[in-house]
Amino acid sequence: MLDEIGFPLLITLKIAIISTLLVALIGVVISYLLARRDFKGKWLADAIVTLPLVLPPTVTGYLLVVLMGKNGVLGEILYNITGWTILFTWEAAVIAAFIVSLPLMVKTTTAAIEAVDREYEYAAFTLGRKEIETALMITLPLAKKGILAGIVLSFARAVGEFGATLMVAGNIPGRTNTMSISIYSAFQAGNGELANMLVVILVTMSLLSMAITAKLVNSWKI
Pick the CATH number of 2-40+52-116+144-217 from 3.30.1300.10, 3.20.20.140, 1.10.3720.10, 3.30.70.2740: 1.10.3720.10
Average pLDDT, the chain: 91
Whether 2 has a pLDDT exceeding 70, the answer reads no
pLDDT of residue 222: 52
Q: Report in angstroms the alpha-carbon separations of 12 from 38, 195, 216.
A: 38, 15, 24
Whether 215 has a pLDDT exceeding 80, the answer reads no
Domain chopping of the chain, boundaries: 2-40+52-116+144-217
Q: Kindly indicate the confidence band of residue 220, based on its pLDDT and cuts at 50, 70 and 90.
A: low
165-188 pLDDT, tens digit each: 999 999 998 899 999 999 999 999
Report, as an integer, the average pLDDT of 144-158: 91
Report, as an integer, the average pLDDT of 114-121: 93
- Residue 5, classified by CB atoms within 10 Å of its CB into exposed (0-12), middle (13-18) or buried (19+), is middle
10-65 pLDDT, tens digit each: 999 999 999 999 999 999 999 999 999 999 999 999 999 999 999 999 999 999 99
pTM as predicted: 0.92
